[in-house]
Amino acid sequence: MTTAAALQGAFLVAALILTLLAGTPIPDGYRYPLIAVLAIAMGIQNAATRKLAVPDLTTTVLTLTLTGIAADSKIAGGPGSKAGRRLVAVAAMLCGAVVGAALVLYVRSVYPLIIAVVVLAVVATASRALGRAGSRWLRVDG
């Protein structure tokens, strides 16, 4: 997790630098390299999420989460389980998308990237600190 967060952070810093150099609005000469760098960062995030194997945590596959809600609903003849966890994931993604879009449209494109870099720095640091061998929360007592 630490390596993935740090690597994704490096690509986001590259995107941040491109955005700062580009100005507003972002011209085509910067737009396509920016898309490529962000796509690589999202690929790293998707691979890390897949490796963690947390149930119903699909960061880049919102459609799968929505399909799961519909397929497992009692209306569709399913057990209706896990809908709450899935709805929380959908709501979190929706809130993040609204905030990010508002920042890009009404403020400046660089701010969502700054937020992402800060969040990833915290995640990488916490992952490094909590993932050390011998950490109390990793021990199995019994």
**pLDDT 10s digits, 61-73:** 677 777 777 888 7
**pLDDT 10s digits, 80-134:** 766 777 788 888 889 999 999 999 999 998 999 999 999 999 988 988 888 776 6
Buried-state track 51-68, b at ≥16 Cβ within 10 A, e below 16: eeeeebebbeeeeebeeb
Which sequence spans correspond to the domains of the chain? 2-120
Q: What is the model's pTM?
A: 0.72
